[in-house]
Structure 1
């Protein structure tokens, strides 16, 4: 077991909470699963390359192997599903929300290649991260696509999976970019859409009702340097990186 600890590492109590979601039949002197998770969180937090992982972690090839495997299995998606319910119950709320908030964030891509295009509104060449949260700012879905695609093209794709995870949702809050999707969401998901407009005529940044919650979630991601740009070749790897950061954020709210 390595001795050096980083602020991104899981605490003992956090590891005890999530350990059941990373089962293994192997017996080792130290738990490789925790060491791999710490290494993944280190990469997302510091923004370093896989090959530049400090030597006290497992070999970078091992870490990337498990990252790739857990990505394909949807392991972090399952973990987030459990964590958000736990956080909500700890806050005295129902495990499932009755309202969701949807928005997206445009980020530049690197030289790694993959899907990307130009967002003419934000003047960003790269990708968009579509995130669906509840009113606690906890993520219910993450979807990454080319920045040039309009929000309305992907909104239903981001919301549709949530339908199978909860039957309590009644309302989705969004900004004016999603205007005109109300009928489609009502017919496909049986949810109502509420478009949140800025209060009054204000120039520059304004704190909009409900939408400030998801903006806060985006600001949380700003503390994870790997997410300041999209360095991944594949969008599902990008989504997994975001989920890793959000899982640690949720754990920090528990212990």
Structure 2
């Protein structure tokens, strides 16, 4: 068996100060099941690498956890609401830092239509922009911090997206 390579430091790695903020919002590891080979911090570093580099999961460098493991946790945290809870906590923290209440009293909805192929999801035709693709709807607070984000087929009217 080959010795495990030591991980390099990447620009996307979480600093100690950032880790202290993020760690409490990650799920508590359980005592049952197979022992984890990688810490949550290693997994998070690999996820941030993917986000920043924009590469495919399979193209993760060899000195980080296996792509299947990283993707498993990414998906699990998406399904169990971890990412949503973390985003909410960080947004509230930023609002309080800006001397605002944690919960916003107003929001602004915006949309953007982009061209796309039919692979990977539904698409539609946005007659106003004359684009066949998908539409991204964002709800932001008065500071521009994202409250909700949804992606739909481009043929969905903006007024209908408000209800989603």
> TM-score normalized by structure 1?
0.56
Q: Which residue matches 1:40?
A: 47
Q: Which residue matches 2:19?
A: 15
CA contact (8 A) 2:7 2:64 kept: no
Q: Which residue matches 1:192?
A: none
SS at match of 2:109: strand
Higher helix share: 1
SS at match of 1:131: strand
SS at match of 2:162: helix
| Inter-partner Cα distance in structure 2 for 1:74 and 1:155 | 22
Structure 2 stretches lacking a partner, 5+ long: none
Cα–Cα, structure 1 residues 123 and 35, in superposed 2: closer, same or farther, change >3 Å? Answer: farther
What is the number of equivalent residue pairs in this alignment?
156
| Inter-partner Cα distance in structure 2 for 1:115 and 1:91 | 39
Matches within 5 A, 1:159-170: none
2:29 counterpart (21, 24, 28) = 24
Q: Which residue matches 2:158?
A: 151
| Inter-partner Cα distance in structure 2 for 1:25 and 1:109 | 41
- Offset at residue 110 of structure 1 (A): 5.2
Structure 1 stretches lacking a partner, 5+ long: 158-255
| Inter-partner Cα distance in structure 1 for 2:48 and 2:133 | 23
Q: List structure 1 segments (4+ residues) > 6 angstroms apart after TM superposition.
A: none
Q: Does 1:141 align with 2:145?
A: no
Task: Using CA pairs under 8 Å that are at least 6 residues apart, name the structure with larger relative contact order, 1 or 2.
Answer: 1
